[in-house]
Structure 1
């Protein structure tokens, strides 16, 4: 029996307002048909696009216009499916939007090959002759930089046609995550708890070890019911990524995902976590001491170090804390965030049929961002909330400052603003809470949530699976289980893992880009460093906001330089872990 409330039982102010995208389904239909008819009037871009600067500018502006129109058309059904995974009408709209998106991509699949075939000298001459192209200078440079990984116009067009098939495993994984894993209940004493994908992480920090054990087993069992289907879809998802990389002549799928950073760089970052492992071992040892020296099991890794119940923080109170926490970023920043939060852009509470993710931000050209939460009036929920608002404000800044072409961010910097937000909130709460017990809960929750070790382990797991694919291995469920257990034991040597724990790779966001754990490693260490520099006065708020405004108009390494961060070695990770250690010191006092 599902004990979660229905969506209609939640007050409207705590449900996001899709009418900010389109007033009605009929309005969406009209926009879709209008965009579809416009797409039909355009011919695909070919080599003639670089004959002169005016033709190139016209093509780039046409591309921007179509991207702006298709964004809301895609977002509207997506928002519905996030809160009602069984809505078949919304699923049909999304599939139509997906098809239209592919057709638009197909119109411009010949753009980069034409730019690259023309060559740098020709492109620079067009830039000199056509001042209106100046806006697109970075876009053109980036296209030229990727020449070695771009196919012929005909091959690019074919690959665009295949994208839907290559993305199919991701959609299957999303569906399994959304609908197939049923909520479970566990009973310990007089307490009955509902275990879902949203509540699992929070319940693993329960004070009662027996609750943690039962929650862990219940969720593990729920996942295992779909183990074979999930493994097949995940293996295909990884093979799709490997296929894209091979076709584009990258050394590996990870090299393609990390773009201009060579393999040794991203391997150095994950290795740096193990080289600086002592703080993570120390936290686990504190947990072991609380267990009177008993062996640590998988359900103990997130055990709390603070005793008693943490502070209850209702959503409205949480909003007040968030707004106060970002004061170091300036009153304009605070006011803009407050304005966005007044617009019903947050879907706050967990309900029946809602997507099984803890929190996420979704947005589009023209209509801004929306936040998907499963808020539970606690510190854990509040940290996820402020994290997603980091994404929202990042997008809000570059939307206001950049043309459509640059209204995004390079993956390397995608999580920095979010973890910076978290660190600012933690500082605010430590300064605000009067009770020492509440401050301990803040430090405990934050050190449990920071993902440096988990992200490094996730990257090692995915890297090994890609190597297995490259060597011709078949990724069966047993094989994936074995690789998962292998990396868990490597990164958590002080924990005893049961063989059944091998299946918990299924608790990850499998439908996402396979290398997304890398962005969380970079984002967590970079966000901690950025917040520290802001609070110490070593980084001006306006400099930070210029970083946000830049969007994707600069390369990731240049954007990181704006914040005084370097990704070329493991020092950025070491610095982040030092700050983690300082939080742990404060917790141990």
Structure 2
């Protein structure tokens, strides 16, 4: 019987090096207490933030020092919990760290309103007359930009205090999905048994045996049906929290509030939805080609993850994936390539699935730590692309930390997904150019087509789902389980028109954790659009400046607004052109696959 190993059974070399943050849990406790005791230091500045430039600079420096320490405390706790979400000690660590983070935000909540109480001319004069304060010029511009949506210091403190509560539905969902739920064990075509998990579900749906795929599909979603009311209640309250928070900040909609944070016009969102809808014929063609490749009269939902190849995905070991990925990233120069290799050798990556481990993959870490990548390796091409994707995030952080102060060390998801998807595009081209095995090449082409489908089309469908469910709440409608199923099912039927959309797939929304991060997913779709344009420039031998321009983009962090950063790298996301260009590339790859089929 196939089983998922315990954490203790994983070799250390395939685990991330969290001891590089705190050698022991006792060190974490000391750091927690130290930074907690510093929160009151901020209060001495309340009411004095804009007295003069020196005071403004001092309070911003102190806040950044404290937040750097808080982020380390939180990241360590969260990643320890993610190693095994059933571990109650690290559940408690994470809860305490979340409270600390909320307390820190509350303690600093008076700063922005006090800055906004000054005029732009007064702030400019302080910047010009105070050494060091020029570092914060973009940050100060951003704070003043948000003046119309910032409440009084008292209300801001209350909103900061409530953030732990308003964000609590995400934690409830994650504990249910990753710690408490156990999915069915099914019999494989060879007679062995395998337990379905969040991590292996889509891998099992790539099995050549169609009857087995149907069993996996139906068993998985029937298990979700057992907690349908619980998940619907969690999602309903997450949407309500988004709406109420937006209203508290004088926004007309939750979507407007979410996009205004990174200063992304709502038109960018609308352009994405419109462009993708105008090109649904390409997705429909992909679905039809899949039916042809599989030799079926009608594509079912359990067929969607099947590759358009005659065999299952070739096995790809973690070591081989690392080698190919590093080679592919040579297009960005030797320094980038060497830094990736050094990271892989320094235990950036927590590679394999274990019991209780957080599902999916992400890149984490802080300004003062190395990057950390969570994986759930499945020995397939998809896992290799996920590794390249997360390394893109990690290298973005590395280049930013090297060039930017802490205040600009983060970056908006809108640009983050560009860095990750550029790596996928470079890996695809490298493999198509260098691997001679035709079967493997077809699998690579199929994988990239699937990533177009799942990133550009599927995430846009998710974005439309979020838009519609939030709109229902904003219009006073009840977000019942049936209502949510209806919205999702209708979208699935529109996007996958040639396929049979069964009742089980109407519950697919229940397994998407990103829906608990308000209006997050659309950025995957805009990200791949920008990434396709940038990767083509990087791979163009006549564009000698493209790689340097791209690395400069990575080095800027959040020093400029997202659309400005991308314009500097050569892509204008304020128009429909990048999205349409990416969809055109998708169409070209479909033509190539059609010839192979």
TM range (shorter): over 0.9
- Aligned-residue offset at 1:184: 2.5
Rounded Cα–Cα distance in structure 1 between residues aligned with 2:257 and 2:351:
36
Map of 1:426 onto structure 2 = 428
1:348 aligned residue (341, 344, 351): 351
2:493 aligned residue (484, 489, 496): 489
Contact (CA 8 Å) 1:206, 1:304: kept in 2 or not?
Answer: no
Rounded Cα–Cα distance in structure 1 between residues aligned with 2:449 and 2:329:
20
Could you say what secondary structure the match of 1:258 adopts?
helix
Contact (CA 8 Å) 2:287, 2:496: kept in 1 or not?
Answer: no
Using the TM superposition, name which of 205-214 and 141-150 deviates more. 205-214
Map of 2:8 onto structure 1 = 8
Could you say what secondary structure the match of 2:521 adopts?
helix
Rounded Cα–Cα distance in structure 1 between residues aligned with 2:394 and 2:111:
30
Contact (CA 8 Å) 1:207, 1:304: kept in 2 or not?
Answer: no
**Could you give the per-residue CA deviations for residues 22-58 of structure 1, whole angstroms, max 9, x where no partner exists?**
0000111111111112223431643421111000000
Map of 2:463 onto structure 1 = 459
Task: Report matched runs for 1:382-531 at 5 Å.
Answer: 382-450=384-452, 451-510=455-514, 512-531=516-535
Using the TM superposition, name which of 493-502 and 105-114 deviates more. 493-502
Rounded Cα–Cα distance in structure 2 between residues aligned with 1:432 and 1:536:
17
Map of 1:203 onto structure 2 = 204
**Could you give the per-residue CA deviations for residues 459-508 of structure 1, whole angstroms, max 9, x where no partner exists?**
11110001100111121111111111111112222221122321111121
Report how many residues are paired. Answer: 588
Map of 1:236 onto structure 2 = 237
Contact (CA 8 Å) 2:42, 2:108: kept in 1 or not?
Answer: no
CA pair 414-251 structure 1, distance change in 2 beyond 3 A: farther
TM-score by length of 2: 0.96
1:267 aligned residue (245, 256, 270): 270
Using the TM superposition, name which of 339-348 and 206-215 deviates more. 206-215
CA pair 374-477 structure 1, distance change in 2 beyond 3 A: same
Map of 2:308 onto structure 1 = 305
Map of 1:374 onto structure 2 = 376
Could you say what secondary structure the match of 1:348 adopts?
strand
Residue 295 of structure 1 pairs with residue 295 of structure 2: no
Could you say what secondary structure the match of 1:572 adopts?
helix
**Could you give the per-residue CA deviations for residues 374-401 of structure 1, whole angstroms, max 9, x where no partner exists?**
1111101101111011100001111111
Map of 1:52 onto structure 2 = 52
TM-score by length of 1: 0.97
CA pair 481-50 structure 1, distance change in 2 beyond 3 A: same
Residue 364 of structure 1 pairs with residue 366 of structure 2: yes
Using the TM superposition, name which of 304-313 and 415-424 deviates more. 304-313
Map of 1:83 onto structure 2 = 83
Could you say what secondary structure the match of 2:154 adopts?
helix
Map of 1:251 onto structure 2 = 252
Which consecutive residues of structure 1, in runs of 5 or more, have no partner in the other structure?
none
- Aligned-residue offset at 1:180: 2.5
Map of 2:546 onto structure 1 = 540
- Aligned-residue offset at 1:186: 2.1
- Aligned-residue offset at 1:177: 1.7
- Aligned-residue offset at 1:425: 0.7
Map of 1:32 onto structure 2 = 32
**Could you give the per-residue CA deviations for residues 396-427 of structure 1, whole angstroms, max 9, x where no partner exists?**
11111111100111232120010100011111
Residue 149 of structure 1 pairs with residue 155 of structure 2: no
Contact (CA 8 Å) 1:258, 1:412: kept in 2 or not?
Answer: no
2:336 aligned residue (329, 333, 356): 333
Extract structure 1 runs of 4+ deviating beyond 4 A: none
Rounded Cα–Cα distance in structure 2 between residues aligned with 1:517 and 1:24:
36
**Could you give the per-residue CA deviations for residues 114-140 of structure 1, whole angstroms, max 9, x where no partner exists?**
111101011111111113111100000
Contact (CA 8 Å) 1:85, 1:353: kept in 2 or not?
Answer: yes
Contact (CA 8 Å) 1:481, 1:503: kept in 2 or not?
Answer: yes
Using the TM superposition, name which of 511-520 and 188-197 deviates more. 188-197
Using the TM superposition, name which of 207-216 and 245-254 deviates more. 207-216
CA pair 135-158 structure 1, distance change in 2 beyond 3 A: same
- Aligned-residue offset at 1:204: 2.1
- Aligned-residue offset at 1:348: 0.6
Rounded Cα–Cα distance in structure 2 between residues aligned with 1:97 and 1:44:
24
- Aligned-residue offset at 1:555: 0.6
